[in-house]
């Protein structure tokens, strides 16, 4: 408990320092768009509060919080789609799957947790869409819904399974993952903003550049090297590999969600602007980093 309190105290003062520095920079450079960083800082504070409750009181709190996060992320994802009345039934069933997925986590049933959405929900979802609703738009609505469940529910739900898989190290592994994911996003954005020239997908996200990607990988790996002994039972090799793994997977997660949003909102610039400060911009990278990091650690280490 003493180590946890010390860790939380250090994170609090780091967050406070970052918040103050960010406020100063935004006033000195008001011509630049720091919306992305502002959203990340808010996310950090929210996750820090959730993590305090989860580590100091009960891990069930974090499970419920992540379940609620999945709900809002999925709802936002659905709101970007031009829907018909025939889609409402399948959307309702998709929401029902969220508490079921987290119930498997709560009881520690790893086998069902890992196959429920990719296998059983995948096979079931077309049925409510077919029955009484015909074939018009069938493939679009079903595939759209399944994509959302995989990213916004299945991917993010891995955050809640860490404390179940390893009660001793789970909470700190989640903290380690979140710190590196969010730092990677911010470093990538800052380097792209000031030094980025070669854009990866300019029509999807003008802030994602190859310079930002390389700089973020190097920085995240260095930070991982220094903090892995404090938060994880990993060895030095995986302390370094984890930094690279989280950085690369987070990069592709951010890029994928950006392209996805642009594709869904083509020709609707006003809606696209409104979505800049929503949930998907805050957790896009975690949809990739959480499952990738979880399964790599579970495969190579017995404590998972």
Q: Is 137 left (phi over 0), alpha (psi -120 to 50) or beta?
A: left
Q: Which two tokens stand for residue 178?
A: 């979140």
pLDDT band at 134 (very low <50, low <70, confident <90, very high): low
Of all helices (H) and strands (E), which one includes residue 76?
Answer: helix 59-79
Both tokens of 207, joined, read 């802030």
Using 50, 70 and 90 to split pLDDT, how confident is the model at 267?
Answer: very low
- Residue 45 phi/psi, 5-degree rounding, is -65, -45
Q: What is the pLDDT of residue 30?
A: 74
Nearest to 94 by CA among 150, 157, 159, 156: 150
Rg, Å, the chain Cα set: 20
150-194 pLDDT, tens digit per residue, is: 999 999 999 999 989 998 888 889 888 988 988 898 888 888 878
User: DSSP letters along 6-44, please?
Assistant: HHHHHHHHHHHHHHHHHHHHHHHTTTS--HHHHHHHHHH
Residue 126 pLDDT > 80, yes or no?
yes
């Amino acid at each position: 408990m003493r180590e946890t309190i010390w860790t939380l105290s250090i994170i609090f003062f780091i967050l406070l320092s970052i918040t103050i520095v960010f406020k100063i920079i935004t006033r000195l450079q008001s011509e630049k768009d720091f919306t992305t960083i502002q959203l990340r800082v808010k996310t950090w504070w929210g996750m820090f509060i959730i993590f305090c409750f989860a580590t100091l009181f009960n891990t069930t709190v974090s499970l419920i919080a992540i379940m609620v996060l999945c709900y809002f992320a999925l709802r936002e994802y659905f709101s970007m789609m031009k829907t018909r009345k025939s889609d409402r039934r399948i959307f309702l069933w998709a929401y029902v799957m969220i508490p079921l997925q987290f119930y498997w986590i709560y009881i520690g049933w790893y086998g069902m947790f890992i196959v429920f959405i990719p296998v059983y929900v995948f096979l079931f979802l077309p049925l409510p869409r077919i029955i009484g609703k015909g074939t018009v738009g069938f493939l679009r609505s079903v595939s759209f819904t399944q994509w959302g469940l995989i990213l916004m529910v299945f991917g993010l739900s891995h955050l809640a399974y860490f404390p179940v898989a390893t009660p001793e190290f789970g909470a700190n592994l989640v903290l380690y993952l979140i710190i590196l994911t969010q730092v990677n996003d911010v470093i990538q954005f800052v380097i792209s903003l000031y030094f980025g020239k070669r854009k990866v997908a300019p029509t999807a996200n003008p802030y994602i550049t190859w310079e930002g990607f390389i700089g973020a990988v190097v920085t995240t790996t260095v930070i991982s090297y220094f903090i892995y002994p404090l938060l994880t039972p990993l060895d030095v090799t995986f302390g370094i590999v984890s930094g690279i793994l989280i950085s690369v997977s987070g990069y592709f997660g951010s890029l994928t969600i950006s392209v996805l949003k642009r594709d869904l909102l083509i020709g609707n610039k006003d809606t696209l602007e409104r979505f800049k400060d929503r949930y998907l911009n805050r957790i896009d990278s975690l949809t990739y980093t959480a499952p990738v990091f979880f399964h790599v650690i579970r495969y190579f280490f017995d404590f998972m």
